Amino acid sequence: MQKKLILLLKQKNLTQHWLANLLGISDKQIGKKINGEVPFKSDEMFLIAEYFDMKIEDIFLPRMYENGT
């Protein structure tokens, strides 16, 4: 689960639907990505980081930590 991304969206009062629109994907697909079922593509991570003017590592957890392992 991408906890940092979820927290960032909450802090900015943005929804998963908004994020799905930013990336040009479905609500279902963004839900899977945030929950760690499907990995974010690197271009999606760069787009999100650029939008928030942050570093990728400040938003996204490495895959090995997504599910709390």
Helices (H), 1-69: 3-11, 16-23, 27-34, 42-52, 63-66
Its domain, for residue 41, covers 3-66
| Domains: count for the chain | 1
pLDDT tens, residue by residue, 13-29? 999 999 999 999 999 99
pTM of the model: 0.86
Q: First-to-last CA distance in the chain?
A: 11
How far is 69 from 64, CA to CA, in rounded Å? 6
Low-confidence stretches of the chain (pLDDT < 50) are 69
Task: Let me know: does 19 contact 48? Beta carbons within 8 Å.
Answer: yes
Query: What CATH number did the domain enclosing 24 receive?
Result: 1.10.260.40
